[in-house]
Amino acid sequence: MGKWRRNIFKRISSILLLPLSKWYMSTERTATVEAITVTIKAGVFHPTLFFSTKFLLGWLKKQALQNLSVIELGAGSGLLSVYAAKKGAIVTASDISETACANVQENAWKHDVKIAVIRSDLFTDIPWQYFDVIIINPPYYPKMPSNESEYAWFCGEDFEYFQKLFFQMKRFMNAASKAIMVLSEDCNIAIIQSLAIQHGFYWQMIEQKRMLFEENYLFEIKPGNVHEQ
Ligand SMILES: C[S@@+](CC[C@H](N)C(=O)[O-])C[C@H]1O[C@@H](n2cnc3c(N)ncnc32)[C@H](O)[C@@H]1O
C-alpha cells in the first residue's frame, strides 16, 4: 500500500476506531483464539478487536512456559493468562478494573485453570515475588482515564502509568526475568523507551509486524544495562 493511502487510512481509523471500539465493547461479547473462548464483559478490553493481544499470544506460543511464574499486568479479559496457564505457567493476573478482575476469574473457572487474580494499580498490591515473565499490553494514549473502562486506553497526561510501572517493576524482577510489552506506532514509543532507560532498564525491540496500516512492536525489557534500540 502506498504511503499516502496508508496515511489516509491511519487518519480515518484514528478518528473512528476508538469510538467504534468503545461502542462495540459496551456489550458483553465472546472471542475465540487458539481454541480458547473467553467472555468479555461490557467495558473490558476486547482481545481480538485489535492486534496487540494476538501479537503477545503469538510470542507466548513460542515459549516453554511450564512452571514459569508469569504475570499479566492489566489482564482485561484474561485471554493471555488462560493461555499461559494452559501451557503450565504459574499465572498471576492483575488489573486496576474490578470488572476486568471478575472477568479473568470467570474465564479461569470456565477453562478450569488456576490463576491468582489480584486487583491492583500496577504492582502496588501484588505480593512481593520475582516473576520470570511479565506480559504487558499497556494503555498508551496520554490522557487521564475518567472511568473504569478508560483505563484500557489512557495512561495519564504525563505518561504516569509508565512512570509508575518502571519505578515499581524492578523490585519484581531478577537477572533472569523479562517483561514483554506490545506497543504500536500509534503511541509515543520514544517517551516510553526513555522512561524505561531512565529507570535503568535494558530495552530491545524483538518483533515487528504490520497489521493492515499499523506497525506493531514487541519490546523486551530487562533490568540492567542501558541498551539503545
Ligand atoms: C490494552 S488493555 C490489555 C488487556 C489484556 N492484557 C489484553 O491484552 O487483552 C490494558 C489493561 O490494563 C488495565 N490497566 C490500566 N491501567 C492499569 C493500572 N494502573 N494497573 C493495573 N491495570 C491497569 C486496563 O484496565 C486494561 O484491562
107, 68, 74: which is closest to 93 by C-alpha? 74
Q: Is 121 in the pocket of ligand 1 (CB under 6 A)?
A: yes
The H or E element that residue 135 is part of is strand 133-136
Distance 70 CA to ligand 1 centre (A): 15
pTM confidence score: 0.93
- What pLDDT does residue 227 have? 44
- What pLDDT does residue 226 have? 41
Q: Is 75 in the pocket of ligand 1 (CB under 6 A)?
A: yes
What is the Cα 95 distance to its own chain's centre?
Answer: 10
Residue 95 DSSP label? E
Locate the ligand 1 atom nearest the alpha carbon of residue 148 and give its number: 25
Residue located nearest, by CA, to atom 14 of ligand 1: 74
Query: Which DSSP string corresponds to 138-155?
Result: ---BSS---SGGGGGTB-
Q: What is the pLDDT along the chain (229 residues), one digit of tens a residue?
A: 566 666 666 666 667 777 888 888 889 999 999 999 999 999 999 999 999 999 999 999 999 999 999 999 999 999 999 999 999 999 999 999 999 999 999 999 999 999 999 999 999 999 999 999 999 999 999 999 999 999 999 999 999 999 999 999 999 999 999 999 999 999 999 999 999 999 999 999 999 999 887 899 999 999 985 444 3
Ligand 1 mutation pick, 41, 50, 72, 97, max ligand atoms within 8 A of CB: 97
165 touches 110 (CB < 8 A): no
Distance CA 17, CA 135 (A): 24
The H or E element that residue 221 is part of is strand 214-223
Q: Of all residues in the chain, what percent are helix, strand and coil, respectively (each to 5)? A: 35, 25, 40
- What pLDDT does residue 124 have? 98
Distance CA 136, CA 145 (A): 18
What is the Cα 117 distance to its own chain's centre?
Answer: 16
Mention the CATH class of domain 3-223: alpha beta
- What pLDDT does residue 23 have? 87
